[in-house]
Every structure is written in structure tokens, then in C-alpha cells.
Amino acid sequence: MSKPKALVTAAYSEEGLAFLREHYDVEYHNWMEQGRAFSEDELLDMVEDKELIIVEVCDLHKKVVDKAKNVKIVGCCRGLRGDDNTLDVPALTERKIPVLFAPGRNLNAVAEYTIMLTLAAMKKAKASTKWLNANNWKSWLDFYITFRTAELQGKRVGILGFGNIGKRVAKLFNAFEAEVVSYDPFITDEKVYEERNVKMVDLETLLKTSDVVTLHMNVSDESKGFIGKEELAMMKNGAFLINSARAVLVDHDALLDAVKSKKLGGVAMDVFYSEPATTENEPLLAFDNVFATPHMAGTTNDVIVNHSRMINDGIKALQNNEKPDFVLNPEVL
């Protein structure tokens, strides 16, 4: 008896593919190997006879969904955090096709990266490496006079957003013996914070008293521009702002003004208002007190292992007539 057919365009672990091949005739086209997502026309040529489709960055819009006449399960190897429009979920839901997804696949990767960003900003990594590579180290103690940096130990770190990534970030900052506080309007039980050695505070207190403010909020209409001119003005002079979440959480012009005026001691960011970011479309990149990286917090190999396991766990649940842990449209089950 022939197996049902599956299309996987996501990067997938060998172990994950081995499981799929036990149950499906798998057509595997890793988008990373060609360096781009597959186009709509390319997908239209691949989806028609597939019962399982697993994507990561490819768009599954209505035209592709309609062409996939046999599809019974769709998996998306991302967290789908509220600012995503790559899947036509209504079209899939109308056909009662469950959409599996992988929230938290990069939870630890982003949390660890947040620590790196924070240390890079506090230790002036950009300015010092630029200085060194420009051959400015002329005498032995030049570095000691030129660069005065900061330590995490004993500093107050304010976490905006206390979801899964925020909680993990808190644990890592606690390891540095920082004083960790957090504000999240959706989590109001103090015990949730206290259990993790974190103090629950209001937004104004967090901004006015934190040496480091780090963002870990989902994007919504309410959270866009959450940190604006007024909020930046509240922050301590010389404080550090860290953003490994989404650029739109911070008002760009207000942030640029705060950087120019040196209100902030430094900014570290892995996300941008326009991506790909360049020195031509992102003026923040010109400043030595802005440490920036190209949206790579979640690029660990472990993330691929994680999302492969999560999607496969969802498939196993459906095979056993159980509800998957992570399904975007549970009403179809």
C-alpha cells in the first residue's frame, strides 16, 4: 500500500525526517539550501497531491491552498507571534485543515542572545572592536582610558513582557546576580514573578529605575510604539535598551533622538523597522553606541531540532485522534 505524500520545505532535522518517512512519501526541499523561500508558482507545482505540507518561511496563500486538493495537515515551523501573514488560516480553517505551529522553538536561543546583546552594549563591543581594528591602540593603557564599561552584577534589569521568553531571560539574568524586575499587563499574579526571583512592578517604576530595559512582548495594535518619546524620557540617563523581539515595539524617531542625545548609554537590537536593514535605510547603524545584528537570535541549529520535534508531536497527536499541544485553529478538530 502506497504512503500518503508529504511536502516539506522547512529546514528539518534528520530525526524529524526519519519519523515523517515512516508514515509518508516525503518530498523534501529545504528552502535554506537555495537561500530563499519557494515562490507561489513553485509551490503550485508541488502541493497538488500532498496530504501533509510543512513550511517555515514559504507563503501558503489561498491560491496555493486551493491547489492543494488533498491536504489534510499543514505545519508551520514558526511561532506565529501576531505579525505574520504568510498563512491563509481562514482558507485552511474553512476546509477543516489543522495548522500545527511551533511557538517557543527559539525560546532559549533568543533568551541567550538577549544576554549577549546586553553584554555587548554594556561592554561597548562595537566601539571597542572598531577602535581596535582602526589601529588606535598606540600605547599600553590607551584602552583603559578610552573605554569605561559596566557590569551586570547588582544592576536592575527590567523585563517588558513576562511570557515564556521573558521568564527564561529572567533566569539567565539572575545567574549574573542582577536585580530583575518585570512588567506585563497580562500577568498580574505576583507569585508568577516571585517564583522566579523577579519583582513585579508597574511600567513607570520599571522605566525609571532599571539600568537595562529588555523587550519581550508580542506585536499587537496596542504594543506597536509601546516605547515612545515619553517612555524613553522616563528611563535613567545612561540606561541600556535591548530589543530582540520586534522593532515596531519602539518608536523609531524617538529612539533615534535618544541615541543622538546620548540619553541612553547604549542600544542593542537584533530586529529592524525595515528588513533587510542597511546603513542606507537604518540611520541607527551609524552610531557607536548601537550594537546591532541581522535578526539572527533564533538561528541556532537547535531551533531546527526543536521545531521538527514540535510539528512531529502534533502529527502524532492527530494520528492518535488527540488534540495537539500547538494547533492554530483548534476549532477544526
Enumerate the active-site residues.
246, 275, 295
Name the maximum alpha-carbon separation found in the chain.
77
- Peptide bond just before 276 cis, omega within 30 deg: yes
Answer for the pair 45, 1: CB distance below 8 angstroms, yes or no.
no
Residue 263, judged by CB atoms within 10 A of its CB (0-12, 13-18, 19+), counts as middle
Cα separation, 220 vs 186, in Å, equals 13
Nearest to 225 by CA among 260, 201, 253, 191: 253
* 235: Cβ contacts below 8 Å, ≥ 6 apart: 207, 208, 210, 213, 241, 263, 264
Cell of 72: 489534510
Cell of 324: 495537539
